[in-house]
Amino acid sequence: MNEGHLKYIRATFRLAEEAKKNGNHPFGALLIDAKGNLLLTAKNTVVTEQDCTGHAELNLMRLASQQYDRHFLANCTIYSNVEPCPMCASAIFWGNVRRVVYGLSEAKLYSLSNKENEEMLDLPCRDVFKKGKKEMEVIGPLLEKEAIKVHLGFWN
């Protein structure tokens, strides 16, 4: 793990905490350029915006695709506190961001939730990306013990 990954992953934990304090699900994401500059941040807005697609990564990709072209985004990295779901992974793919770094794995997140009441797609982002015809780098899970903290007690 490099220091940049740790710094940015921890920043997504803080964004997730903010999302939770705002009444949303605890998810946060950020976009870093090839030089390591922070470009954009986003939080989950599913509840406050009454939008089932208001996931942090999807919100981030909407902003990114409005502000940057696909060639620029190909050299950027998305950091997320949790492994992107299939919907978010698809948005990342279509937006042409070629690297994803995440904290908590999808499997670990799902183990915390009440499986009877939550709708979930058990499809890791690596599997989504494998179906595409371009190279996508996925790094994670990283710092899972820290990443899980914002979720403890939220999903029961």
Closest to 91 in 3D by CA, of 64, 118, 122: 64
CA 150 vs. chain centroid, Å, equals: 14
**The one catalytic residue among 3, 17, 18, 57:** 57
Rounded Cα distance between 10 and 12, Å, is: 5
Q: Is the peptide bond before 141 cis (omega within 30 degrees of 0)?
A: yes
Give yes or no for a contact between 103 and 1, defined as CB atoms under 8 angstroms apart.
Answer: no
Give yes or no for a contact between 12 and 149, defined as CB atoms under 8 angstroms apart.
Answer: no
Give the number of other Cβ atoms within 10 Å of residue 115's Cβ: 11
Give yes or no for a contact between 154 and 47, defined as CB atoms under 8 angstroms apart.
Answer: no
CA angle 71, 38, 143 (to 5 degrees): 105
- To the query of whether residue 57 is one of the catalytic residues in this protein, the response is yes
Report, as residue numbers or ranges, the catalytic residues.
57
